[in-house]
Amino acid sequence: MIEARMLIGGDRVRASDGGTFDAIDPFTAAPWATVPAATGSDVDAAVAAAAEAFPAWSATPGVRRAELMHALADAVLADADRLALWETTDNGKVIRETRPQMAFVARNLRYFAGYADKLHGRTIPLDNPAVFDYTVRRPYGVCALITAWNSPLSLLANKLPPALAAGNTVVVKPSEHASVTTTELARLATDVGFPPGVINVVTGDGAVGDRLTRHPGVARISFTGGGPAGRRVAANAAERLVPVTLELGGKSPNIVFADADVDRAIVGAVAGIFGAAGQTCVAGSRLLVERGVYDRVVAGVSDRARAIRLGDPRLPETEMGPVANRPQYDRILAVIDTARDAGSVVAAGGGAAEGASLGTGLFVEPTVFADVDPGGALAREEVFGPVLSVIPFDDEDEAVRIANASEYGLAAGVWTRDLGRSHRVTNALEAGVVWVNTYRSTAAQAPFGGTKQSGYGRERGEDALTEYTYVKNVMVDISTEARDPFAIRT
């Protein structure tokens, strides 16, 4: 088995007390790696190492920080096949998705490397011409970066590059359900020359994350995960008035109007919910369909759901792999059973998937529920699995009303050929990300984040840099005359 190591102060280490836990392959249900179970003293050591490295790293010229980030991007691409295989083995996501995600990691590193020497301030003309005013952007210090199990490196690529480009040092804490590739990225960072302590990784369960987010040496936090954990992180941050970015869950509406290219919309709906076995925060789990095309869309989506190829996620022909871990598998099946018992109409799937090619894997059938009550639990609560709720609507106003009747506000999709409608609806939707005639598209340049219970703050794009810097204002009195020391100067 592979033995993962944490990275603290430039050293790849085991837990201080020797504790470990197994990484479980959700396809075989067998352990495939051992991971250190960090102690409180390990967290303290990682924060101390990051704090010690911060003065030199923040003073390092941006062009040099960029060089190291480009070198790490090169290393990721050179090792992309192995990293993708390990991530697939760790969380069950199909190789056809994890492999491109490695390219996305490299792209984000390169994008933010380009900003490392361009963190400009401004000069500000004041009412008093004898005072010269300007701003500079400064890094916070030690940043805690906490990622979820569904896309460990892709999620880390939203946080690590802007933090490093801005001059911060970091302590990364991946999910205990998918830690191995994060520890390997840390090894690559050391290999390409990042100074000791700039990047640190600690592994373990929620107690490790709690210790990290409460730590007095942490100056900023970025968290991706579920709502309950996000609230605890926000509470920990509030105790010390530490700024925090929260990228949480969603119950995203994917809206199909009758004037859309329906065949294209059906493909988009299937990709939006069954890609990554529905285990994405932006999953289009509520499919809102105008009645004029409702039956056609339900039939088309259901037919495609039944045709999805389940199997070994390492094989390129596999379209959907297993659910990432046993607790999530059990929860998804419980949600399906509860919805069926409540009278929801199953149009496709509806249970555990079994077969010789699936072995002991944690497979759930791609499931479609039709005629779902928009106010019911199935349409309101995040499932985080391959379960789609299809809801009919009569007109544009009703579509927007149903879409916004959610505590979440992360993503949304709109399918229409009407340009005016696309702008009206996207303007009215309460979501941080809206796709028109596409779904689950990403770009390093495009800001990402939610509103309402989906969190706050932004990742990716130039907006992400503002999350990892604060503005310092400087006033310089350039006059030569004496001033009254008790007068207010404006």
Catalytic amino acids?
Answer: 159, 247, 281, 459
Is the CB of residue 246 less than 8 Å from the CB of residue 228?
A: no
DSSP 337-356: HHHHHTTPEEEE--SB---G
**Cβ contacts of residue 362 below 8 Å, gap of 6+?**
26, 27, 29, 92, 322, 323, 324, 325, 326, 329
What is the chain's Cα-based Rg?
Answer: 24
Specify the DSSP element, H or E, that contains 209.
helix 206-214
The CA distance from 324 to 326, in Å, is: 7
Q: Which amino acid is at 10?
A: G
Specify the DSSP element, H or E, that contains 247.
strand 244-247
What are 269's two structure tokens? 């709906």
Is the CB of residue 215 less than 8 Å from the CB of residue 141?
A: no
What are 280's two structure tokens? 């994405």
**Cβ contacts of residue 3 below 8 Å, gap of 6+?**
33, 34
The CA distance from 118 to 190, in Å, is: 25
Is the CB of residue 390 less than 8 Å from the CB of residue 369?
A: yes
Q: What b/e readout covers 392-401, taking b as 16+ CB neighbours within 10 angstroms?
A: bbeebebbbe
What are 487's two structure tokens? 């007068």
- CA dihedral over 339, 343, 346, 352, signed as positive or negative: positive
* Long-range pairs for 433-441: beta carbons < 8 A, 24 or more residues apart: 433/282, 435/411, 437/260, 437/261, 437/264, 437/265, 437/268, 438/268, 438/413, 439/254, 439/268, 439/269, 439/271, 439/272, 439/284, 439/413, 440/271, 440/272, 440/275, 440/280, 440/282, 440/284
Neighbours of 452 (CB within 10 A): 17
**Cβ contacts of residue 380 below 8 Å, gap of 6+?**
251, 406, 407
The CA distance from 337 to 328, in Å, is: 14
The CA distance from 173 to 213, in Å, is: 10
The CA distance from 205 to 20, in Å, is: 11
